[in-house]
Chain A
């Protein structure tokens, strides 16, 4: 997780909203990619969970877009996707063929923790009170998401005794 060329001290509310939107968009895209990978490698339960997460990220992104447009409609954005790297998106190496729903949820939980830490680290640096309030709110949302995933994890039955190493994933058709 990293950012490039963002100075949190001077972040405006518009840029902060744009940044938050891009973070949600990056996470949505990544969950979509991971779901595709799981489908290709015959891991449907993890695929379904990653699709569910992609939808959630899209929903959060849409809420932020609405807020952004209420105050800053038609104003150009100063932040780009090139400035953020895996802030809330799970890293590619989190995925494995035949991962269980529990493993998929655990990777999503790690991503929520990562996003929480991002906002928690940024808050003390921010000078603008409205931006500070926004990032504090987003940090708390990440805590809520962690709790929701944790609750789902607790409802899951234990993983089967067979692990991924007990299966052979034939190469996908060329």
Chain B
């Protein structure tokens, strides 16, 4: 996960926040070592209308040229490389929680997509992809004529 969710905002005491964070970190590392990385990056939201779908992904700190979007039928794949900061020699790292490296995520869409007309926008670290439905995939209305 990109960030942790503090499910209990009532926990104002920083000790408990730290404790939650610590607890989650341990659970995560155990899960990772047992089952490989279960976290799917980036987190996405999918919305759909009759004729188009919208996929939003939280991808902070990317360069546009490092984001690769590909579509095949009703599958959207977001692939990219998240660079680490260039650190000068002698820099001490106190914390490194931000994900870096390669990532790939494939999302199943509710319908097949017209690849030619896909639009993507990247603002403030949020990637929004608008995917129009393929013409032949659109629902067709059939009028019934009474005799």
Q: Do A and B bind each other?
A: no
